[in-house]
Amino acid sequence: MVSINTRRQLESISQFYAREGYYVAEGLVSGNEVEALCREINALVRGEKGRVIGTEVLDPSIDLMQQVLAIHFPHKASDLMTAALSHPQIVEILDALIGPDVKCMQSMVFAKNAGKPGQAWHQDEYFIPTRDRSLCGVWIALDDATIKNGCLWIHSGSQREGILWPMKAHNDDRFDISHEAYNFPFDENAGQAVEVQAGSVVFFNGYTLHRSLNNTKSSGYRRALVNHYMNARSLLPWGIGGSARNDFRDIVMVSGVDPYADKGIQDFNFPFIRAENPVQSKEIYALTRKEFMHRSASAE
């Protein structure tokens, strides 16, 4: 790996991350890499990279990307997305933050079209529970992310106490239907806007409270590739689609060694989209549920 940071710089990054719960690496991903990832997203939605569950219910007469909220596990269908998990400059920083042994369990693409909602305050560790609090979200901006188009907002230092705040439904139309965290000791209307240019990467702790507001622009996207990592020395008591395991093994090692390599690697997760349209979403949910049930039965 070619180092872009001195040891002192990496120590400074690690100290900032431990104190504030996040770190922004500006311009870490090149413009050519960003363009390639955007082309790959379009190919995934068009079904050109193999089956991505949900693409079959999209309306081909309308811009496909305008129908998509998110793509789950794109690395399961794309070699380029798989390679992005191990981006050398990203892994170098991950080694400093949560290493020395690092594994990835999830990738997601968020489109956020003009006029579409964001996601209310939440903590990623609530959804992906690690045993050692090492979860780290890596948010790669594929478009310039601004307040107007729905950039990230973060409550600095909200990870320090290691508390997972309760979640509830909300009726705020700025956000999607995902539940929101509440009862935390921070002003829900405050926080720090993390405006970044395309190619910048935001690293944030699994306990860090963060949200994104709605895209208020009249056109365009606010696309981001978000991958989740943790220290490989910890077991991963996680799973989706009713697949919870004591140590979920559908992972990709990106650095160091896997202490549990004798367990082997699963191929359980699969790529699927989350659609804007409620009717399409219902169809996709049925398709994904059927696939999860099939894979769960096969794994037993």
pLDDT at residue 193 is higher than 50 = yes
Checking if the pLDDT of 244 tops 70, the result is: no
pLDDT of residue 300: 60
At residue 96, the pLDDT reads: 97
> Of 33, 88, 52, which is closest to residue 198 (Cα–Cα)?
33
Contacts of 289 (CB under 8 A, 6+ apart): 241
Reply yes or no on whether the pLDDT at 222 is more than 80: yes
pLDDT of 97 above 50? yes
- Go through the domains of the chain in sequence order and give each one's CATH number: 24-299 (2.60.120.620)
Residue 40 has pLDDT above 70, yes or no: yes
- Using 50, 70 and 90 to split pLDDT, how confident is the model at 294? confident
Average the pLDDT over 162-186 and give the result: 92
Q: Note the pTM of the prediction, 2 decimals.
A: 0.95
279 forms beta bridges with none
- The larger pLDDT score, comparing residue 244 to residue 207, is at 207
The identity of residue 75, as a single letter, is H
* Residue 1 pLDDT grade (very low, low, confident, very high; cuts 50, 70, 90): very low
Produce one character per residue of 130-147: b if its CB has 16 or more CB atoms within 10 Å, e if not. Answer: beebbbbbbbbbbbbbbe
